[in-house]
Structure 1
Amino acid sequence: MSQPTVPDREAPSITCDEPGSFPWQVFHVRHPALIRRLLEALPYGQAERQAFAALLRESQHDQVAALSPEAPDFELWQVWGKEQYGRPWRQQGFLWSESYFYRRLLQAGGYFGDGGWRGVDLFAPFKHAELDAPAFTGDLAALDRQHALADGERERSLLMTAVWGNLADLGFTIAGKETGDTGALAADDSDRLWKLLDGGLVTVVADNSGRELLADLVLVDHLLAAGRAREVSLLVKPQPYYISDATPSDVLDCLDRMTGAAGAAPRIGGRLRQALRDDRLRLRAHPFGCAPLGYRDMPGDLREEFAASTVTIMKGDLNYRRLAGDRLWPPTTPFAEVTAYFPGPVAALRTVKSEVVTGLDRRTAAELEAADPSWRTSGTHAVIQVATPRDRE
């Protein structure tokens, strides 16, 4: 079968080349702040500290250096990045360069080495602090109030909590953003999403750990308990990535926190644990989860999994960038058009925190741009968007 073609109206790729732009600020403001936090949180020695400093210099001023042939994922990155090596970082696509930065960050911290830092999640101090924070305790207590809602209200509450849970992103807060009251939906296909959830296989591609993962797990529990899904496949990252991205260990830590709480939380956590034992909930970590590529380039086994799903739910901003393509689309570009390659129904639940936006009606797009030109990166708006093969005919 031939691959679907790209949209006729191809948009320019987002790069880090323009001083003052959002991608430029990520590399010149957010990344230095992250490394300062890492060095405060973990007692790295001189070798690791020098490696972090060298990575910052290279990513801000120099050309992209290739991985060592001894790296365990050397062959993968030869496929994913061989055309980028030797070229300036600032000229790379933002998705590729940001992803490679985090891969190199693990290397600088000794994650792949033979020393004492091997396999240590350098973001673990931040993740554990979030699980112990008052906000997470408040989220656990809020599950009691959700449980008391009428069915329709409860489903809406669970879905919106999963959407806005994406605001609880440690990379976002490290950049100086605060997570407070939620904003407004710029697009809302929630009715279409519920109609797709008819008791089949649902794939959920998770984004962040902590508070967002809690919201995702509670939604998964409801889908299973209410018969909205026969089975759920939960895809997480195979290794630490983008500060707070969820790994299998983060899922288990979140379940432990739930089962150790009071009220509704331990009952939900217990059901999820049993669902894992019964294979009604399958925890998956695919190497492509940390690829610097869009889902258009997904491998065949992942394509088959998505094709077999009643619907694939993509959580969060990074998954949206990978789904729609990290390009400066006109915001009215149809969501179904930029996801035409996807092998089955797909839904995006995303707080808008980067420049990629599609699927807005003209009035909404115009009003948002007029009210605040920085709305795409401020986290004040979110989208629930759905596309099916029928939309793409």
Structure 2
Amino acid sequence: MKQFFSFIKKEFYHIWRDRRTMFILLGMPLAQIIIFGFALTNEVKNESIAILDQSKDAASSQIINKISASRYFNVTALLHNPDEIARTFQTNTARIVLVLPSTFGEDLRHVNKAQVQLVTDASDPNIATTLINYATAIITDYQQSLNSTAVIPYQINVQSRMLYNPQLKGAYSFVPGVMAMVLMLICTMMTAITIVREKETGTMEVMLVSPVQPMKIVMAKAIPYLLLTVVNITNILLLSVFVLDVPINGSLILLTGESILFTITCLSFGLLISSVTDSQQTAMMISMMGLFLPTVMLSGFMFPIENMPLALRIVSNVVPSRWYYEIVVAVMIKGLGISSILKQTLVLSGMTVLLLSLAIKNFKIRLE
């Protein structure tokens, strides 16, 4: 029995000395419960809303105040003319716009009936529908408060308008998300095991004595996966257009170029992982487990980032798939140009340079 407990003690020491095992046993459950606990929700809150108040009277001010006081909306812009609505969605200033016509207050006072319009970005149909329902409920609550003291009941009609996806097709939302997830996981995982395979098979020694510079070795390992990924991108776009009926409303050349940029970012990430790990199993585990949850939860694909606590919103900024998802939605669904996705493009470019530099630096150290 004493020997049995000695083996148990030895196993504890073995686990304690292995930092990766300790991280898996203790760190990952904590990370998962935090991410799932705060991100995994169908409730929409803290969403941005813009107001186009053409009435500018007491009645319109009361509705705006009710919306501002709601935990579901944050008023991010006050528009001055209808032409600003499209720009609001193009710059992601707001997901929904409340339009109060110039005769809103006068119609309520004289005929006890008025009309408002809700315009929403329906590139994500689930969120758009939820926002329409929330805003309609707030307006209905305001109407009921008026009717509590009115002899003739008031009636406020709400008209909704869905931009970019009037038919509310779910494919418009999940196609960009699946593109980001597939490219991120496949490219990173496949490249993550390349250099590690060389170490495990013993061919690293051949590379050590070769006159080829580390930069060229890293690029040689990345280029085949880049070319194969271009084929994947082509297949995904063909299936999206001809099978799922998701049109490419923007420039195909721009979309392809941004997809190649994101692929290079993922390849750089994979090369970095492979340069700092010693086994294919570890490299695959890091690329799969370390990227799957952030890609699904923190990219805005499945759950709105605005719903998350500040800490997770900050963390989402370092998830490459978030920026690529925004690019695909802007170009493919909204039909926008390079000027609307310049920020996302610069972020991905910066990530690529940083990750590739770190990969080359670590690879060079291991060659010495």
State if a TM-score over 0.5 links the two structures: no
The structure whose residues are more often helix, as a share, is 2
| TM score, norm. by length of structure 1 | 0.30
| TM score, norm. by length of structure 2 | 0.31
